């Protein structure tokens, strides 16, 4: 995962998962240093937010200091209490004095405490405008940026939920981490995740209390319960529950499974994941399937995909279809095209491309994902794909050396973007076009800058809102070779 931020998090499995979750790491508070004139904690000032920074915080300019304030929109004035956090200044609102026309009442009552969403107080149209602005600021030098593709119904979109356990008020509770802390806020309803998940998490938590399971304490290295993950198939409606615990021993396992599946017949599989490490990564290495097949199936763009607990899979299926359709339209593949899909995950883009192209090579570092890709190709009876496990950069170097006649490269790297090994080999390979999908316009701008200096031109950039109410934005662009 690529959030290089501060708040503790439930964070996903690092290797296989990279996109924002509601429990992502904390937003960095501003990116400014304040070497002059220190302002001290506790001082109260009145201030007006000038703009939103990339973390969705209002920025108040006080003298030359930039003070970041969560939940304050541009134009709004507030009485603020200054806090000094590390090198950065920020402030909490004592009283908001004015209200922006763009402000709406957040649908979720946990908005001010849960760190998952940053923009619920901003109307959805203005959220899109904000994201579009972020992309334009970074990418407009390369090409015109198209209208951002938003969601018609920007709620209940997440197909994966991770809830963490905590011992609070003499009982097991589950929820998400409070912003900038390791404290769990017990949350029973989340408006961005599939509605199926909340009642299941609630039942799991109730059963954990009934079965008297202890919450794992990382400092004492004692206890059992860590997290519960619920993954749903958008089309198939299959449901996977993964109970992440610290021990292999699962007391009362059969009765637990029986009680859970009786309460929720929609659950199709339950997996016990064992994570006994002192880590903020959610999933451990060992898994035991304790009910059903251990995988669920979903359909995306008409293709079937098998998902295991650790498979990377885009978390917003409605927007993913739009994103992939835009990418395929940009590529405009024919049966003469030889395609390389790099950072291919479980092979989603590879299999879509294979329906049009002559041959597709998927390149992915994660072994599980490669196994999934091969199975997924078989599942869809697709025969013109080959999956290569390895570092995309190294594989690209090899392909360039062998002068493989590649016409199209798809790249969909993690938030950190690509490295120079990869980029220098892509341009040596000389595909006629590169389709670059990115969840971080900053690193995309850096990489586009490299590629465009080596004979490529950006033709089109389309931002897609994959994560409504958060500050994240996905972008797909197409580059063509000039000569």
Give catalytic residues, as residue numbers. Answer: 439
Identify which range of 142-150, 247-255, 345-353, 447-455 contacts ligand SAH by CB under 6 A: 345-353
- Which residue in the set 5, 6, 14, 15 belongs to the binding site for ligand SAH (CB under 6 A)? 15
Q: Return the residue matching tokens 């794909």.
A: 385
Give the integer Cα–Cα distance in Å for 415 and 441: 9
Give the integer Cα–Cα distance in Å for 89 and 82: 7
Identify which range of 128-136, 256-264, 270-278, 359-367 contacts ligand SAH by CB under 6 A: 359-367
The residues with which 215 forms a beta bridge, in sequence order, are 225
Alpha carbon of residue 189 to chain centroid: 20
Burial code of 64-92, b = ≥16 C-beta within 10 A, e = fewer? ebbbbbbbbbbbbbbebebbbeeebbbbe
Rounded least distance, CB 369 to ligand SAH, Å: 5
The residues near 154 (Cβ < 8 Å, ≥ 6 apart) are 124, 465, 468, 469
Rounded least distance, CB 440 to ligand SAH, Å: 11
- Which residue in the set 2, 7, 12, 18 belongs to the binding site for ligand SAH (CB under 6 A)? 18
DSSP class per residue in 381-410: T--SEEEEES-HHHHHHHHHHTT----EEE
Q: Is 314 in the site for ligand SAH (CB under 6 A)?
A: yes
Closer Cβ to ligand SAH, 205 or 342, answer by number: 342
CB 110 within 8 A of CB 121: no
Give the integer Cα–Cα distance in Å for 346 and 68: 39
> Judged by CB under 6 A, how many residues of this single chain contact ligand SAH?
19
Rounded least distance, CB 55 to ligand SAH, Å: 22
Neighbours of 244 (CB within 10 A): 24
Closer Cβ to ligand SAH, 60 or 370, answer by number: 370
Closer Cβ to ligand SAH, 164 or 311, answer by number: 311
Rounded least distance, CB 387 to ligand SAH, Å: 11
Contact flags string 413-452 toward ligand SAH, x per CB under 6 A: -x--------------------------------------
Rounded least distance, CB 131 to ligand SAH, Å: 19
- Which residue in the set 295, 308, 344, 425 belongs to the binding site for ligand SAH (CB under 6 A)? 344
Closer Cβ to ligand SAH, 21 or 314, answer by number: 314
- Which residue in the set 59, 166, 349, 458 belongs to the binding site for ligand SAH (CB under 6 A)? 349
The residues with which 162 forms a beta bridge, in sequence order, are 229
Token pair in block for residue 37: 């004139």
Closer Cβ to ligand SAH, 82 or 377, answer by number: 377
Rounded least distance, CB 92 to ligand SAH, Å: 36
Rounded least distance, CB 439 to ligand SAH, Å: 8
Sheet containing strand 338-342, strands side by side: 385-389, 359-364, 338-342, 408-411, 433-438, 474-481, 456-464
Closer Cβ to ligand SAH, 246 or 370, answer by number: 370
DSSP class per residue in 197-261: HHHHHHHHHHHHHHTTPPBPBTTTTB-SEEEEEEEE-TTT--EEEEEEES-S--TTHHHHHHHHH
Phi, psi of 268 (to 5 degrees): -105, -20
Closer Cβ to ligand SAH, 129 or 446, answer by number: 446
CB 21 within 8 A of CB 162: yes
Q: Is 226 in the site for ligand SAH (CB under 6 A)?
A: no
- Which residue in the set 312, 361, 387, 456 belongs to the binding site for ligand SAH (CB under 6 A)? 312
Rounded least distance, CB 88 to ligand SAH, Å: 30
Q: Is 311 in the site for ligand SAH (CB under 6 A)?
A: no
Rounded least distance, CB 398 to ligand SAH, Å: 13
CB 92 within 8 A of CB 69: yes
- Which residue in the set 62, 127, 348, 438 belongs to the binding site for ligand SAH (CB under 6 A)? 348
Give the integer Cα–Cα distance in Å for 27 and 253: 38
Nearest-Å Rg of the Cα atoms of the chain is 23
Closer Cβ to ligand SAH, 65 or 412, answer by number: 412
- Which residue in the set 200, 207, 260, 365 belongs to the binding site for ligand SAH (CB under 6 A)? 365
Q: Find the binding residues for ligand SAH in span 400-419 (CB under 6 A).
A: 412, 414
Q: Is 16 in the site for ligand SAH (CB under 6 A)?
A: yes
Give the integer Cα–Cα distance in Å for 425 and 203: 51
Closer Cβ to ligand SAH, 83 or 344, answer by number: 344
Q: Is 216 in the site for ligand SAH (CB under 6 A)?
A: no
Q: Which residues bind ligand SAH (CB under 6 A)?
A: 15-16, 18, 312, 314, 343-345, 348-349, 363-366, 369, 391-392, 412, 414
């Amino acid at each position: 995962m690529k959030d290089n931020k501060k708040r503790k998090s439930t964070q996903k499995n690092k290797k296989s998962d990279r996109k924002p979750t509601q429990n992502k790491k904390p937003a960095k508070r501003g990116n400014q240093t304040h070497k002059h004139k220190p302002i001290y904690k506790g001082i109260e000032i009145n201030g007006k937010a000038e703009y939103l920074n990339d973390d969705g915080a209002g920025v108040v300019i006080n003298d030359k200091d930039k003070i970041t304030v969560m939940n304050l929109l541009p134009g709004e004035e507030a009485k603020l209490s200054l806090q000094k956090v590390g090198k950065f200044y920020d402030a909490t609102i004592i009283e908001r004095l004015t209200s922006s026309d763009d402000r709406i009442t957040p649908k979720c009552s946990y908005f001010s405490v849960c760190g998952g969403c940053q923009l619920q107080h901003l109307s959805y149209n203005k959220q899109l405008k904000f994201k579009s602005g972020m992309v334009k600021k970074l990418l407009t030098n390369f090409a015109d940026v198209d209208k951002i593709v938003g969601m018609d119904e920007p709620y209940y979109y997440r197909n994966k939920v991770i809830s963490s356990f905590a011992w609070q008020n003499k009982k097991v509770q589950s929820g998400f981490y409070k912003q900038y802390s390791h404290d769990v806020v017990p949350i029973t309803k989340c408006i961005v995740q599939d509605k199926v998940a909340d009642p299941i998490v609630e039942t799991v938590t109730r059963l954990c209390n009934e079965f008297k399971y202890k919450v794992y304490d990382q400092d004492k290295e004692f206890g059992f319960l860590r997290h519960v993950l619920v993954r749903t198939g958008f089309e198939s409606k299959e449901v996977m529950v993964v109970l992440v615990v610290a021990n292999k021993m699962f007391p009362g396992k059969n009765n637990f499974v029986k009680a859970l599946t009786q309460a929720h017949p929609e659950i199709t599989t339950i997996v016990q994941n064992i994570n006994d490490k002192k880590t903020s990564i959610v999933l451990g290495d060992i898994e035991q399937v304790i009910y059903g097949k251990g995988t669920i199936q979903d359909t995306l763009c008409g293709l079937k995909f098998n998902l295991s607990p650790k498979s990377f899979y885009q978390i917003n299926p409605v927007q993913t279809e739009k994103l992939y359709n835009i990418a395929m339209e940009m590529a405009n593949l024919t049966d003469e095209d030889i395609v390389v899909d790099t950072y291919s995950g479980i092979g989603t883009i590879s299999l879509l491309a294979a329906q049009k192209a002559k041959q597709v090579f998927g390149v992915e570092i994660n072994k599980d994902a490669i196994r999934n890709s091969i199975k997924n190709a078989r599942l869809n009876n697709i025969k013109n794909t080959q999956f290569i496990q390895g570092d995309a950069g190294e594989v690209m170097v090899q392909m360039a050396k062998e002068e493989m006649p590649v016409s199209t490269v798809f790249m969909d790297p993690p938030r950190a973007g690509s490295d120079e090994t990869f980029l220098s080999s892509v341009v040596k390979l000389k595909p006629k076009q590169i389709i670059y999908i990115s969840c971080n316009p900053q690193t995309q701008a850096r990489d586009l800058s490299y590629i465009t200096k080596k004979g490529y031109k950006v033709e089109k950039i389309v931002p897609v809102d994959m994560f409504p109410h958060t500050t994240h934005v996905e972008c797909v662009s197409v580059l063509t070779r000039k000569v």
